[in-house]
A and B are shown apart, each in its own frame.
Chain A
Amino acid sequence: MKEPTREIYWNISHIWLMYALLVPAIAIGAWGIWRRVQRWRRGKADASRFDRPTLRIKRLLDHSLAQRRNPIFHRLLTWGFIVLTIATIIVALDADFGTAIMRGRFYLYFQSLTVDVFGAFVLVACIALAARRPRFTPLLAAIFVIALTGFLVEALRIAATHDPWAAWSPFGNLIAKVVPVSVVAHRTLWWTHLAITFAFFAWLPFTQLRHIITSPLNLYTSNLAPIGANLKSVDFEQERLGVATLDDFTWKDRLDFDACTECGKCTDACPAHTVGKMLSPRDIIIELRDRDEGSAAIAGAAAAQALWECTTCAACVEACPVFIEQMPKIVDMRRHLVMDEADFPDGMQSAVMSLEKRGHPFTGTQATRVDWTQGLDVQHVSAAKDADVLFWVGCGGALIERNQKVIRATAQLMQKANVKFAILGRDEKCSGDPARRIGNEFLFEMLAKDNLANFTKHNVRKVVTPCPHCFNTFKNEYPRYGATFEVQHHSEFLEQLVDEGKLAPAREDGVTFHDPCYLGRQNGVYDAPRKVANATIEMERSRNKSFCCGGGGGMSFVDEPSDQRVNQERANEAVATGAKTLAVSCPFCMSMMEDGVRGRMRVQDISEVLWASQQPVIPSVARDLGGRGAMNVPRSPTRPGPSLTLGMTEGEQN
């Protein structure tokens, strides 16, 4: 028997015509890609996108080939596409470059069997994806037709030539049994298949299918740091602060736009969108992609309103299969509105004004930063020279009454474990997280520098904080200003104390845990808080897929419409687990979740759960710890009015 192979271009003449068609197809496709490349090149500089090549290659393979964030059918489609493209190149190499590689085992195993199977994958995947979309998009249809005509051509050839190796192309062989023997049909379909394929490649850069090219580039240049370190710094010498027009985006932002596959996974994951708000990260990316050079980044009042619905939870960033960074772009655009236009929601304005005046974002609070210390022997850093740890309480911890119990529990746990810690008390200022997420980078820098000066003055080497926002800011954003101190979230620190046997482990049952965005998704800490609170019940959306409490990104300072509350949605999910206790580990989550569950279950910080387990078991007392306390800070503080009540009262005016 002869060596296994097949006659290439059987039944086909005028091969020159194929190359004549190929040239314009490639030219048009290349021109289409070149236009996009030019568009990226007009973007601003973005350093740090090419370091650590091994990690980048790993990410590229993980997410372009293994496609961990994509459904199986998309993977099948991609793999089929790659295999068929390789097979086509092999045909060309064999027939027109005289390499004679399409022979023997290679021909049977790869060029026949593998190609046939992957071709079938493509057909199945097209149907499955179309069913989900839920329609045959023109692009899917084109791929389907290309694969289908390919099979038909193969089947017609097998039928007409009685190919002895036909069994190695099982699907083609199957179809061959039902097609007529017709050289004319074969020849016609062969050219049709070729024409459609070439047209497809020429068309590709002009459609979202360009992601076949752009998404691998985007994956390679994606952000390797934790998401929490994603925001860019601002150069205050620039003419515009933040992003006002398309020109203000970096080349990487522009590549992001072009890499979007329009899959909608980001919008599906977005908490604001889920509760019916206008915000859709997918639409923002697509709108920016389609906007002309130089035009305003933020179109109209509607788009601007959507920017103010973002909690900066980064669920979008985590969900995106091609690692587009949607949330940092939202913050970039906020920066322009806040710093250049002073045009942002009232609640956030009063938070910013309060931060400027008092170093904390709450208006109207009567709590002081040291109220929680009453009856506890806690020292200021200046009086505790031998302290190993600076316990950073945070505004949300010190000034919201309910959270003062959390701070007390954490402090008492540290005292029980003989940790030498001290506090900054009245010298603490906001870490700057809300200012930065709202978009006031200027204020953030001032706060960061003030706090750093304080840390340096007191020679702080290690910070432990129960606030994930402060934690993220210290860890990922202060180093830019020269911070070198170690920082731990209290979940990590308490876990360590339990592991070292200095604290008894939590023995509470029936606990579910709500991941704070800035601890979990944005910094990858998932297990420590679960362990500290012995949280064994999981909500439907948890860990990296966790659903925001609704309080991040300055959103805890604005009034949400009562039928569009993110915290309600999340609270209902927590209640649905049937757990007795909802453990949180963030002062903002605490406020949001207590407001959301409305007495349907108990909300406790992980430190309170753990502290309860340090006591001897006296059931009636243990129950009582950290019960639902009313928040004394309004969820949406109004702008500070006059504090005096002399003369007119509000009601008498106007």
Chain B
Amino acid sequence: MNIVVCMKQILDPEVPARDFRIDAARREAERGSASLVTNIFCENALETALQSGGNITALTYGPESAEDTLRKALAMKANAAAHVAGEGGHPLHVAQVLAAAIRKLGPFDLILTGRESGDWGAGQTGALLAEELGLPCVSFADKIEVMNDGGWQMADGKASDSSAIRHPPSAIRVRRQTDAGFETVEAQPPLVVTITNAEHNVPRIPKVRDVMMAHKQPLTRFTVDELGVAPADYYEIVELAIPQKETRCELLDVDGLAQRIAEITAAL
């Protein structure tokens, strides 16, 4: 089974609030002292793929620094990695770029993305990617089972044996998280699945040996031009601001207390 996992490098969402700045004019977050990390849901997606077994390609679209995300994916034991150099951008554009790259790298049985990224949190790329590729999409999934040799094979949560699933699976069963609980759907591959976090897809810690090896592995490289994708301009960020929290304290007199409370509640 061939799986591609789309991954994004983002500004560390754990940067202390006091250190977080934005460039209002350019409508972007400032890097400041924040580290660049792999979006956690993308790591959950990779972990889910590793547990399902198969031949896994990690794919990212981003600046040069995004190579770190791919190296980490290789260290976690993805089989191959591909980098589309560019600045990223709006979800539709990203989906178009990823789709173009996937067409070049494929065919794939399963295309995984995180449910959303920890920086903008738009949560659109997965669904738009499915649209671009003309494939069905299952969102908010946390578990994948694969029909293999006539039986359902559950990820055991540990081994990543790329030979475990030899044939393209005839069906894939996906568990979704919903507001009310879980929903299990069966689908014919190929399909796109967006992954959310769960107890059982916490990204594994790579072995140091694998980290060292990962730095020597070759990457497939593309540019946006090579893929022939034009910038998407279907939406625009009009304003970007950090919400200001205001707290006020007013000491009330006992006289006329009831009236003042009524005024305040009315104002709220």
Whether A associates with B in a native complex is: yes
Q: For residue A442, give the distance in angstroms from its CB to the closest CB of chain B.
A: 5
Q: Which of A304-312, A351-359, A508-516, A570-578 contacts B (4 or more CB under 8 A)?
A: A351-359
Beta-carbon nearest neighbor of B200 in chain A = A654
B214 to chain A, nearest CB (A): 12
Return chain A residues, CB-CB under 8 Å to B204.
342
Residues 113-146 of chain B, each 1 if its beta carbon lies under 8 Å from chain A, else 0: 0011010010100000000000000001010000
Interface contact A357-B35, CB-CB below 8 Å: yes
Interface residue SS majority, chain A: loop
Across the two chains, which residue of chain A brings its CB closest to B140? Answer: A647
A610-654 CB contacts (< 8 Å) to partner B? 639-644, 646-648, 652-654
CB–CB A647/B196 < 8 A: yes
Q: Contact: A368 with B40, CB < 8 Å? A: no
A371 at the interface (CB under 8 A from B): yes
Q: Do the beta carbons of A642 and B177 come within 8 Å of each other?
A: no
Closest to B202 in A: A639
Contact check, B16 vs A367: say whether CB atoms are below 8 A apart: yes
A-B Cβ contacts below 8 A, count: 84
* Interface assignment of A363: CB less than 8 Å from any CB of chain B: yes
- List B residues 39-66 near A (Cβ within 8 Å): 40-41
The residue among B16, B123, B208 with the most chain A CB atoms within 10 A of its own CB is: B208
Contacts of A644 in B (CB 8 A): 13, 116, 118, 121
At the interface, yes or no: A349 with Cβ under 8 Å from chain B? yes
CB of A365 within 8 Å of the partner chain = yes
CB neighbours of B199 from chain A (8 A): 653-654
State whether A342 touches B14 (Cβ < 8 A).
no
B207 touches A339 (CB 8 A): yes
A642 pairs with B40, CB closer than 8 A: yes
Secondary structure of the B contact surface, majority rule: loop
Q: How large is the interface on B (under 10, 10 to 19, 20 to 34, 35 or more residues)?
A: 20 to 34
* B230 at interface, CB cutoff 8 A: no
A338 within 8 A of B: yes
Q: Is A540 in the interface zone, CB < 8 Å from B?
A: no
Q: How far is the CB of A342 from chain B (nearest CB, A)?
A: 5
CA distance A639 to B179 in the complex (A): 24
A366 interface hit (Cβ, 8 Å): yes
Q: Are A241 and B209 in contact (CB under 8 A)?
A: yes
Q: Assuming A349-B205, A642-B197, A653-B199, is B211 touching A442 (CB within 8 A)?
A: yes
Tell whether, in the assembled complex, residue B118 and residue A643 are in contact, meaning their CB atoms are under 8 Å apart. Answer: yes
- Given A644-B116, A648-B196, A653 contacting B14 (CB threshold 8 A): no
Nearest-neighbor residue (CB-CB) of A367 within chain B:
B16
A341 contacts B by Cβ under 8 Å: yes
Please, which residues of chain B bring their CB within 8 A of the CB of A643? 13-14, 40, 118
With A642-B197, A647-B115, A648-B177 already in contact, the answer to whether A366 and B16 are too (CB < 8 A) is yes
A358-B177 contact in complex given A647-B115, A648-B196, C-beta closer than 8 Å: no
**Using Cβ atoms and an 8 Å threshold, which residues of chain A touch B202?**
639
**Bound-state Cα–Cα, A114 to B87, Å:** 89
Does residue B206 face the partner (Cβ distance < 8 Å to A)?
yes
Rounded to whole angstroms, the CA-CA distance of A442 and B18 in the bound complex is: 31
In the complex formed, the residue of B with least CB distance to A441 is B208
| Interchain CA distance A368-B32 in the complex, whole Å | 12
- Residues of chain A contacted by B14 (CB below 8 angstroms): 358, 363-364, 640, 643
- Seen from chain A, the residues whose Cβ lies within 8 Å of a Cβ on chain B are 236, 241, 338-342, 349, 352-353, 357-359, 363-369, 371, 426, 440-443, 639-644, 646-648, 652-654
A-B contacts besides A367-B16, A369-B33, 4 pairs, CB < 8 Å: A342-B207, A371-B18, A647-B196, A648-B196
Q: List 18 A-B contacts (CB under 8 A).
A: A339-B208, A352-B205, A357-B12, A358-B35, A359-B35, A364-B14, A368-B16, A368-B18, A442-B208, A642-B41, A642-B118, A643-B40, A644-B13, A644-B121, A646-B121, A647-B177, A648-B196, A653-B177
10 closest Cβ pairs, A-B complex: A339-B208, A643-B13, A426-B33, A442-B208, A342-B207, A342-B205, A366-B16, A368-B16, A642-B40, A357-B37
